[in-house]
């Protein structure tokens, strides 16, 4: 049996520390925790870490929170047998003509304008809406945050998800019934209709922080399935 490489990617306005409660619930396994650089870490290092896994021999269990899930899907091909866990996840974020359930592009435009004036305040306001604690550092990276908003505006990974949904057990989704960032209607509309969603009725947008045991159990279950299929 070949154990999968565990990869955890955080969402916009957060860092790898968002996963601390989940990793504790998992018993602190060996994992890859790239930092997308919203607080100044090197994006190049994150890309290097992920590319090493994508070109490696072991299947990857890629776990993404919010934009992190979209970011993972956008990387392209993964080693054979790789699987995905999406937490507070979506296949598309911004609304459009054929996706009215998404977030209005005007909201993202306002956030972009705010980042040009006071990026730390924009991040703080967003984290409050998520139900999260303020960032531990006010040293935010305006350029990387703007790039992240561009991803939220432009990425549409619904076709990729539809292909993955055709592979039994390839994707597991956890969602919050009280998520104020990604509503239940938006969640359902952005994912393939035949892709099961594990709903946490009282959960918000921060399931890795508020429901770490449930997140950990979903990851354990997927890991076991990957081992059985290896």
* pLDDT one-digit tens code per residue, 105-117: 999 999 999 999 9
Tokens of 208: 């890795």
Query: What's the Cα-to-Cα distance from 37 to each of 84, 116, 129, rounded to whole Å?
Result: 22, 17, 21
Number of domains in the chain: 1
* pLDDT one-digit tens code per residue, 35-73: 999 998 888 999 999 999 999 999 999 999 999 999 999
Q: How many helices (H) and strands (E) does the chain have?
A: 10, 6
Domain that holds residue 198: 5-229
Report field, pTM of the whole predicted structure over 0.95: yes
What CATH number does residue 197 fall under? 3.40.50.1820
């Amino acid at each position: 049996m070949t154990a999968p490489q565990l990869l955890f990617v955080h969402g916009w306005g957060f860092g790898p520390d968002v996963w601390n409660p989940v990793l504790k619930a998992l018993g602190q396994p060996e994992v890859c925790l790239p930092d997308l650089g919203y607080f100044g870490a090197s994006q190049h290092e994150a890309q290097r870490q992920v590319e090493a896994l994508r070109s490696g021999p072991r299947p990857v269990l890629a776990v993404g929170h919010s934009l992190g899930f979209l970011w993972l899907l956008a990387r392209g091909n993964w080693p054979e047998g790789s699987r995905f866990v999406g937490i507070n996840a979506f296949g598309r974020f911004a609304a459009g003509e054929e996706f009215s359930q998404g977030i209005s592009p005007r909201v993202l435009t306002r956030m972009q304008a705010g980042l040009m004036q006071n990026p730390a305040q924009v991040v703080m306001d967003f984290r409050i809406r998520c139900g999260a604690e303020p960032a531990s550092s006010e040293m935010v990276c305006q350029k990387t945050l703007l790039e992240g908003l561009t991803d939220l505006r432009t990425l549409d990974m619904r076709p990729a998800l539809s292909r993955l949904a055709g592979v039994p057990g390839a994707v597991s989704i956890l969602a919050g019934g009280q998520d104020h960032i990604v509503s239940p209607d938006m969640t359902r509309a952005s994912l393939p209709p035949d892709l099961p969603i594990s709903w946490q009725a009282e959960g918000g947008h921060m399931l890795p922080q508020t429901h770490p045991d449930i997140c950990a159990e979903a990851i354990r279950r997927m890991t076991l399935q990957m081992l059985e299929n290896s």
